[in-house]
Amino acid sequence: MSIEILTVLLLACILVSFALGAPVGLALGGIAMAIGYMTWGEGIFTLIPTTLESNFFSFILLAIPLYIYMGQLLTRSGIGDAMFNASQMLIGRIRGSLAISVIGVCSMIGAMVGIIGAGIMTSGSIALKPMLDRGYDKRLALGVIMAGGGLGILIPPSIPMIMYSATTQNSVGRMFIAAVIPALLSITLLVAYVVISCKLNPERAPMDTGDERQMSSKEKVRTARDGFFSLLLIVAVLGSIITGIATPTESGAIGVVGAILLAILFKRFQFRMFQSAGFETALLVSASMWIILGASVFSNFHMLSGVQTMVAQFTQDLGLPPLGVIILMQVIMLLLGFIIDELIIVLMCAPLFAPIVVSLGYDPIWFGILMILNIEIAVQTPPYGFALFYLKGIAPPGVTMMDIYKSITPFILLKLLVLVICMVFPEIVLWLPNKLMGVA
């Protein structure tokens, strides 16, 4: 069977299995095994132990449960609320200040959780009701939660970044540092949009009159303290990697210990909270591991069948310049975001595209950040982006899918602008890691 026919058959089976609601990891692994048995015979079964050994015995992937556990502890102990209150108090009484706080805090919460779906749902459960209660425009409230929660995978520590680094054998530390400037650029543009749109249309956001105005001096000091130490923990996790004190996996352990200490310090530690965070982490990690296994088996089978050669030949036949090939890859990932989530896109596309990118003379870290930016956009793009349905699941009954589509559109355009800027000017991505860690 030619690689072209095999590719079409694999993609068709994926679409059918997803339409039938099959579990993602089992569907991908099962499709690879079934078609592999028909084409390779019994030799296909050797792919499972080799994939298990290469993926699940990776020291880098050990960071995933640690970061998820840190996020669960922070959000369930109420420290996420502390960050929200401190941010709102810091910004002060300006029109749209609550929406600005939401962008920053949801970004941080998304970074704690490390994956888009959980980041948006966690952020939405904390921030959506206060915004609607204070009279914010429904679309603005939904849009900033989606935009801020989605940024979580661009702000270190990020689970998709760890997966990209593990599958392409690149430095997680360089990936984390390379994402800093694109993340700051994204947040700046989103905040600027909120400020300008609220100034042009004051009805979108009232002058905030929330609890922070009635706080006593003692309460303000306590709120500022809680928010400061919460932010300090995230800085410590990233800083330990940048300075070389700890590996990404070790910094995940630092984050877990720090989250427990903060919960104790703020007198929010309860055994029930500790237990429920552990159970939820186990569920998320178990689901992620099955997805990683299934997607890795599928990806390895497809690559060993020669898909990399097919893609390279296809791009060569098109006669595209190197940047044109990069753009084509971006389009493919955008389309994939309509039907699959961010983890699967990374696992399917990173091992396929990264070697081609390197052969074209581009830096794999730069392409990795483009992939993360692209995925963040793809899973939030109407009408079928996965993240849209996560937000619908936690929204009040009066919120329709059309409201969500309209709310996210301007924010998606801003994120597309960031993607284009980083694509045209690679130094925006590479300057900081090269400065701090030297040229790779």
Which residues are CB-neighbours of 296 under 8 A, at least 6 positions away? 51, 54, 55, 167, 347
pLDDT band at 60 (very low <50, low <70, confident <90, very high): low
| Residue from 318, 406, 330, 409 nearest 362 by CA | 330
**Residue ranges per structural domain of the chain:** 1-57+295-304, 58-269+306-437
To which residue do tokens 């936690």 refer? 394
Which residues are CB-neighbours of 366 under 8 A, at least 6 positions away? 178, 422, 426, 429, 430
What does the alpha-carbon distance between residue 24 and residue 197 come to, in Å, rounded to a whole number?
40
Mean of pLDDT values over 275-287: 82
- Pick 153 or 1 by higher pLDDT: 153
b/e burial code for range 389-425 (CB count within 10 A of at least 16 → b)? ebbeebbeeebeeebbbebbebbbebbbebbeebbee
Digit-coded pLDDT (tens) for 292-336: 788 778 877 877 887 767 766 776 777 788 888 899 899 888 887
| Residue from 95, 124, 239, 108 nearest 184 by CA | 108
In the predicted model, is pLDDT for residue 84 greater than 80? no
So what's the pLDDT on residue 122?
A: 62
Mean pLDDT, rounded, of the chain = 80
CB 137 within 8 A of CB 404: no
CB 365 within 8 A of CB 171: yes
- Pick 390 or 416 by higher pLDDT: 416
Which residues are CB-neighbours of 415 under 8 A, at least 6 positions away? 147, 150, 186, 373, 376, 377
So what's the pLDDT on residue 339?
A: 64
In the predicted model, is pLDDT for residue 102 greater than 70? yes
Supply 435's token pair.
């400065």
What does the alpha-carbon distance between residue 86 and residue 81 come to, in Å, rounded to a whole number?
9
What is the model's pTM? 0.72
To which residue do tokens 């948006």 refer? 120
If one counts every other C-beta atom within 10 angstroms of the C-beta of residue 199, the result is: 13
Instruction: Please count the residues of the chain.
Output: 440
Digit-coded pLDDT (tens) for 162-215: 889 988 888 888 998 999 999 999 999 999 999 899 888 888 877 655 555 566
